[in-house]
Chains A and B, each alone.
Chain A
Amino acid sequence: MLSNTKKLFIEAGSFQQNKHGNIVCGDTVLMHKSIEENRTIAVVSDGLGSGVKANVLSTMTASMALNFSIRREPIVRTAKIIMDTLPIDSVRNISYATFSIIDIESDGNAKFVEYDNPPLILIRDGQLYKLEKEETVIKREANQIEGNDRMVMLSNIELQKEDRLICFSDGVSQSGIGNMTMPFGWEDGVNDFIIETLKTNPYISARELSRIIVKQSEFNDIFKPKDDTSCVVLYVREPRKLLICTGPPFKEEDDKYLAEIIKNYKGRKIVCGGTTSKIVSRELNLEIEVDLKDVVSSIPPVSKMKGIDLVTEGIITLGSLTEILENEIPHNIDQKGADWDIYRMILDADVIDIVAGTKINIAHQDPTLPVELEIRRNIVKKLALLLEQEYMKNVNLKFI
């Protein structure tokens, strides 16, 4: 009732692993979702070599590719500018970073640009779908050290529901190189791996699939990756909805309205806040049970209410959640605490509806309380912005 679900929804997920012993990744993955246009753009770039130098090359390439794509610059011009801009490696005398650009419009029309990355994979109906690719030669003017013209592959397709696009750096396709079982690396084995994975788990999220692919590459290299490994998965799916209600409504008459929203919502539901859960419990006649078994020191314990997936305390939990979201994607997401519970549910959701009550809690107006107990409205706004910009979620924010 809060969001339009008719649009094609694209879930985007990515995972990266550094080359063994490196503290920075030489690959760069950038994703952008423009809410107004309902357009999704993802870029993967692999810089020459590894470490900081590769990271600089790939970061420059990826951010140029992304920003030019957002502004709908012609691809030939984009590719040319990227190639002419990169600094020249003093050892190898070339300037180089690969890139792949995936640009999906709201109607499902997708354009792909590939330059020297392993071929993009499209899985449709559980099978590998062969994309028709067109080669375009990019003539180079500046920095003409070796004088070679470069070849860029272009393709496009109309996406359907349940399609998956998988794009990775050569860290994936070349993983395991030199092993008895895969002397030339994983190569086409990755296709079979993806198809097998989808067979056993047809609704696997983009986030999880990208993680599994990278983890398997790491395994192929016996847990010492020989190259930076990155994978991006875009999954066209029925949006998974999540409702987060926090805070009592400004007007008491609206308590019923809040309860109605929660009752009729089709999707997973979270209620954050002691007073809020009391209102919901009163209006819907549901009992609250606070679970004191797994108490994490810094975060108040979660409660249980029938029909609500998660009931937590309000401001402390949301504040801590915002902190988790602000940091880089952690490698271990299975941590305990109400904030981590919400975090995991957020990662699994595509459309997030937030209903924030704006009544000021008089009990909190105590100057001796820590500053972190921010006004709910501020914290919710910050949360919504983060989810939209950094986590590519469709966020609907409503104040009552």
Chain B
Amino acid sequence: MLNVRICVGTYCYITGSSDLIKLKDRLPEEIKDKVSFIGSACLGCDESDESPNPPYAKVGDVLIKQCNEEKLLNEIYSQLGLER
């Protein structure tokens, strides 16, 4: 099972993660059973020194900045070794 963590902290939520968490209900068939969507209270954007790039998401151990559906799916597919 591949863990996909989506940050639902304030900043990430209003910059797009509110839509990202809904993705779990309409995942493509071929990856549906291979990923588990988990929320996260904060993935640490407030700790880094660089200016924040929300929303953040984490696929396995890879942190994705300014995440959107496209980026997230690409990362999931590449980590699962599947073609999109």
**Hey, which bits of chain A sit against chain B, CB under 8 A?**
273-275, 277-278, 281, 288-292, 295, 297, 300-301, 303, 311, 313-316, 361-364, 366, 369-370, 373
> Is the CB–CB distance between B52 and A363 below 8 Å?
yes
Counting CB contacts under 8 A, is B18 at the interface? yes
Cβ contact within 8 Å between A274 and B21: no
CA distance A373 to B15 in the complex (A): 13
B26 → chain A, closest Cβ, in Å?
Answer: 13
Does B3 reach chain A (CB closer than 8 Å)? no
Q: Which residues of chain B from 45 to 84 have a CB within 8 Å of any chain A CB?
A: 45-46, 52, 54
Chain B residues at the A interface, C-beta cutoff of 8 Å:
6-11, 13-14, 18, 21-22, 24, 37-42, 45-46, 52, 54
Among all A-B residue pairs, the 6 with the closest Cβ atoms: A290-B39, A274-B9, A274-B42, A274-B41, A300-B8, A363-B52
Question: Which residue of chain B has the shortest Cβ distance to A278 in the bound complex?
Answer: B42
Determine the chain B residues whose CB is within 8 A of the CB of A314 once the complex forms: 9-10
Q: Are A361 and B38 in contact (CB under 8 A)?
A: no
Pick the most buried of B37, B42, B52: most chain A CB atoms within 10 A of its CB. Answer: B42
Question: Out of A275, A289, A301, which one reaches B21, CB within 8 Å?
Answer: A301
Residue numbers in A under 8 Å from B54 (CB-CB) = 363
Whether B24 contacts A316 by the Cβ 8 Å rule is no
B77 CB, min distance to chain A CBs, angstroms? 21
List of B residues within 8 angstroms of A288 by Cβ? 40-41
Most chain A CB within a 10 A radius of its CB, from B6, B8, B13, B46: B8
A316: B residues at CB distance < 8 A = 10, 13-14
Known A-B contacts A290-B40, A313-B8, A363-B54; the reply to A300 vs B46 at CB < 8 A is: no
Chain A hits for B22, CB < 8 A: 295
Q: List 12 A-B contacts (CB under 8 A).
A: A273-B10, A274-B42, A275-B9, A275-B42, A288-B41, A290-B39, A300-B13, A313-B41, A316-B14, A363-B46, A369-B11, A369-B14
Do B37 and A300 have beta carbons less than 8 Å apart? no
